[in-house]
Amino acid sequence: MSILIKSTTVITQNASREIIKDCDILINENKIAAVGKNINQKAELVLDAKNKIAMPGFINSHTHVAMALVRGMGEDLPLQRWLQEKIWPTEAKLKPVQVYYGTLLGICEMLRSGVTSFLDMYLVGLDEIGKACEQAGIRGSLSDAVINMPGHGVERATAFSKKWKNKSSLVTPHISCHSIYACTEEMLVKSKELADKEKLKFHIHISETRKEIFDCLNKTKKYPIEYLDSLDLVDENTVLAHASWVTKREIAVAAKRKATIVNCPISNLKLATGGVCPVREYHQQGANVCIGTDGPASNNSLNMFESIKLSSLLQKHHYWKADVLPTQSFLDFATINGAKALGINTGSIEKGKLADIILLDARSNASNLNPQHDLVSNLVYAASPANVTDVIINGKIVMQDRNILTIEEDKIIEQVNKITF
């Protein structure tokens, strides 16, 4: 199918970060065929986007989408008690149908927040998560997390990755280990070997709390990222979620290895982990910084706008430095850097890229997006999911005029409330 988006303002996120006014975007099948003024080619569908802003869809680089189902459970607990007393016992009893509807619920929320791709890690019902992504039409990079619990070893992660590899245009399997405190050394090494062999990403929670750091030091005499590096687990295909409590040496290691760091500011704040991820140092030294919401049970939303804004504000606050990083960097972290982390040809609006595009209405119900002195600043600090009107993923319209077309949001909400605990 071909789609022509007419007369819009395009935040391209191309190499020179061009913003083009009164610009057209031509989509042919699943790719962007042209970007420019007055494109005269015919298309099967023409979208008049005169008062809208077109930008690449956000990439949520660390989440556990099915946890939408446990949103609001175990409030006001620190991470270890939250996981051990509430979340893990509940997840151990989850049925596939619950994971399926929880995932669809989370996907609806992400689509409304302009998310077109996400990197997920989960422990149960992975096939249901894949099925939900395909039905909704969202790009999911999924993994069946390895964790030191019966039946959650590397064999299971291998089976999932084999089953889904090259099976779907939207779902890509990867490999993840929950954390260094919930996996044995053998699990960590074998998982990364598998990821390398299959050319997949290796995704892990690391350096999230002070407790994790001191437990690791006591056990291995190394700080967590140095420990991972000593096992040869840190490289450009490694995605380190959180990485907040770190030494300067660890930042240098992550940057030297060109690893991805996913800043999850809201989850860190809510679980009171205390450390602020040194985004500035990682970015300036050359690590690939991205932004994630983390799961909707530790956030408690999948609202990327909030996470982008908080990522920036925390850096300014932490360093007592209003110009700590340009505002533009935070839009980059949520788009092009995310695409690099996930290994997908998206993250900018340019000819040849996959057509993952969102439209925001800058006129109707958009007092928060005006005046437009600085569009990037408006997107980072003022925009909200309420401004997102249309979502196109892989060349297909998934949300139009704020209506999700691929899945039935009302029925999903009804089902979730029926099957929840």
Q: Which residues bind Zn ion (CB under 5 A)?
A: 294
Closer to Zn ion by Cβ: residue 177 or 360: 177
In whole angstroms, the minimum distance from the beta carbon of 353 to Zn ion comes to 28
Rounded Cα–Cα distance for residues 172 and 190 (Å): 20
**Residue 374: CB atoms within 10 Å:** 14
Distances (CA, A) of 205 to 28, 337, 368: 38, 18, 35
Sign of CA dihedral 360, 413, 62, 324: positive
Q: Kindly report the backbone phi and psi dihedral angles of residue 53, in degrees, each rounded to the nearest multiple of 5, phi listed first.
A: -115, 130
247, 207 in Cβ contact below 8 A?
A: no
Between residues 281 and 294, which has the closer beta carbon with respect to Zn ion? 294
Closer Cβ to Zn ion, 125 or 395, answer by number: 125
Q: How far is the CB of 203 from Zn ion (least distance, A)?
A: 9
Q: With beta carbons less than 8 A apart as the criterion, state whether 360 and 330 touch.
A: no
Q: Which is nearer to Zn ion, 47 or 87 (CB)?
A: 87
Closer residue to Zn ion in complex, CB, 79/233 = 79
Minimum CB distance to Zn ion smaller for 138 or for 243: 243
Residue with smaller CB distance to Zn ion, 4 or 341: 341
In 3-state terms, what secondary structure has residue 111? Answer: helix
**Which residue is nearest to Zn ion, using beta carbons?**
294
Q: Rounded to the nearest whole angstrom, what is the least distance from the CB of residue 316 to Zn ion in the complex?
A: 24
Minimum distance from CB of 295 to Zn ion (Å)? 6
Please report how close the Cβ of residue 292 comes to Zn ion at its closest, in angstroms: 8
Strand partners, 142: 173
Contact between 135 and 127 (Cβ < 8 Å): no
Residue 247 to residues 211, 231, 269, 277, 278, Cα–Cα distance (Å):
15, 18, 20, 11, 10
Q: Could you tell me the smallest distance in angstroms from the CB atom of residue 236 to Zn ion? A: 21
Q: State the Cα angle at 403 between 397 and 408, rounded to 5°.
A: 95
Q: How far is the CB of 244 from Zn ion (least distance, A)?
A: 12
Contacts of 260 (CB under 8 A, 6+ apart): 61, 236, 238, 239, 240, 287, 288, 289, 290, 337, 340, 341
